[in-house]
Amino acid sequence: MAMVPEKEVDRSSPVPRKLYKTGEIMAHTGISRQTLHNYTLFGLIREEERTPSGHRLYAEEVFIRLAKINDLKEKLSLREIKEMVEKGRI
């Protein structure tokens, strides 16, 4: 069996990050499109980029943030959660 040489890889360029569309986040979290939109406008989550057609794209960290928001909603108002976000607590 002949060894196939590995292809040279340019390691100087960063690995591209995966960005998620609203529909993908909805599918994985069960959170509605309107709730995601409201959280974005309210400043609880932030979009990383937009597609050329204007669709919001979110980094994978949004899943952690949404889980924390969901847990905190049982005890705190969205305004209180926003204050925590602004102070860097979540």
Domain ranges of the chain: 19-86
Tokens of 47: 């979009």
pLDDT for 11 beyond 80: no
Give the whole-angstrom CA distance, residue 81 versus residue 68.
Answer: 9
Its pTM stands at 0.78
Mean pLDDT, all residues of the chain: 90
**pLDDT at residue 4 in the model:** 61
Q: For residue range 27-63, what is the model confidence (pLDDT) as tens digits? A: 999 999 999 999 999 999 999 999 999 999 999 999 9
**pLDDT at residue 12 in the model:** 73
Map residue 25 onto helix, strand or coil: helix
CATH 1.10.1660.10 holds for 19-86: yes
pLDDT for 1 beyond 90: no
Q: Return the closest-CA partner of residue 39 out of 87, 76, 89, 79.
A: 79
